[in-house]
Structure 1
Amino acid sequence: MSTKYDNKIEEIREIMSNLLTSIVDANTISLEAYKNSNDELYKDVQSRLSNITVQGDIIDNEIIKTFALYGPEAKELRSLVAYLKMTNEIVRIGEGVKKYALRMRDHSSSKCNLEPLNSTIIQLHKSTINALEYILECFKQLDNCNIEDFFTKVMVEESKNDDLFSILEKEILTMIIGEKELSIEYVKVLGTLRKLERACDRSVNIANLMLFASQGGEIRHYS
């Protein structure tokens, strides 16, 4: 494969890494916003991710141009297909982070008492960030990344994330029973926290795609 193709792939991976970095940073800021009930930090998240869909389109267009200009062989074609699908997952994670920050800002100023949930929410948020950071670390150093080890780390975080979300689900349902007048608000809180859980699920999808790009086989999506 030509050097031009290799350079183009490196360029695409760098753009995707930058997008992932923005999402991880925004997600970390969102966690700090929740911990400190900081309205300005929530707004910062919105600002950082305001054009995430446009950035995703730019990446997809670069991938399509690489298809057209360089006619990649089977292995390279597999990588490009994986990257094209990864872009969708990355953008949807970013959109979820943006919505999460917007909604948590509102929940934090509502009559809902989130203090009993603080520890679990923070752990849930951290596990989501951890999964994304593993992906970013591997993506930046793909040639030296142990794909199987990286995949296992992401799966461990996803499993932990699922357990934490189940705990939150039970705790919030208990609060709904005790505070029926706020039941709709608590249901909305649960829906917002699901954004974190889904972000971790999408991280597994990205890990699967990276495994596919490296080793072939079948593309599998977590549901």
Structure 2
Amino acid sequence: MLATFQTSLNDVKKKITKIGDDLVESNKLILEALKDCNAEKFSEARNYIKNISAKTDEIDNAIIKILALYTPEARDLRQVVAYFKITNELARACSNTRSFIRGFTDVCNELDVKTINEYTLPMQKSTVEAIKTTIAMINVDDEDELQEMYEEVLIEENKADDLYEMIERSLVAQAESANAFEKYHKMLRALRKSEKIAGRAISVANLLVYIKKGGNFHN
């Protein structure tokens, strides 16, 4: 392919990485904010993922231009198509993050400290590790290393799933004893968003493996 194709693709890659890095920083701040329900840190976390739709639209338009100008084939085409799907997954992860911040700040102070320490913090930590490792995969060329990192993301995503199920059982039990289903439902709805962010991470990781190995898309 022409050198200008690679230049254009590298620019797309940098912009995708920047969105991913901001998503990681946002979720790191959420992890800190959860420790003491710090509203200021929750607000700072939100600032990292502002105007994501405009940023992903810019990337998508650049990808469409690459397809029109260079008509890439084989692995180059896989990479371009995968990047197109990755921007969508990152946009949804950012949306989940915003929803988590918005929903959880309303109920954080009402959640039992023991529940936060025992389940919520570890779940958010797994979410952070999942997206951090996924974004690092964008710049990895070695297939074996890429596969190892994918397995790490999968482990963290599974941890987040398991921890959410534990939180759900705990909060449902508390709701039944306190007869306060609406309050606990709000908590679960917010916490579910955190678990979904890890799910988006594994979707992106799948696409990055697809770029190198081909085959079918996985979910």
TM-score range, shorter chain: over 0.9
SS at match of 2:50: coil
SS at match of 1:124: helix
1:5 corresponds to: 5
1:170 corresponds to: 169
Amino acid at match of 2:141: D
**Which runs of structure 2 are paired with 1:36-185 in the superposition (5 Å)?**
36-109=36-109, 112-119=110-117, 120-139=119-138, 141-144=139-142, 146-180=145-179, 182-185=180-183
SS at match of 1:217: coil
1:20 corresponds to: 20
Question: For structure 1, which segment, 112-121 or 53-62, has the greater mean C-alpha deviation from structure 2 after superposition?
Answer: 112-121
Q: CA offset at residue 108 of structure 1?
A: 2.0
Q: How many residues align?
A: 217
Alignment check: 8 A CA contact 2:26 2:49 kept: yes
Amino acid at match of 1:77: L
Question: For structure 1, which segment, 80-89 or 37-46, has the greater mean C-alpha deviation from structure 2 after superposition?
Answer: 37-46
Alignment check: 8 A CA contact 2:123 2:160 kept: yes
- Whole-Å separation in 1 of the counterparts to 2:111 and 2:94: 27
SS at match of 2:33: helix
Provide runs of 4+ in structure 1 moved above 6 Å: none
Q: Deviations over 1:133-187 (max 9, x none)?
A: 1011121x2224622111111111111111111110110111111111x210101
- Whole-Å separation in 2 of the counterparts to 1:37 and 1:217: 44
SS at match of 1:218: coil
State the identity %: 28
Q: CA offset at residue 103 of structure 1?
A: 1.4
Q: CA offset at residue 3 of structure 1?
A: 1.1
- Whole-Å separation in 2 of the counterparts to 1:98 and 1:48: 10
Structure 1 length-normalised TM: 0.93
Cα-Cα RMSD = 1.3
- Whole-Å separation in 2 of the counterparts to 1:127 and 1:159: 9
Amino acid at match of 1:130: E
- Whole-Å separation in 1 of the counterparts to 2:164 and 2:108: 19
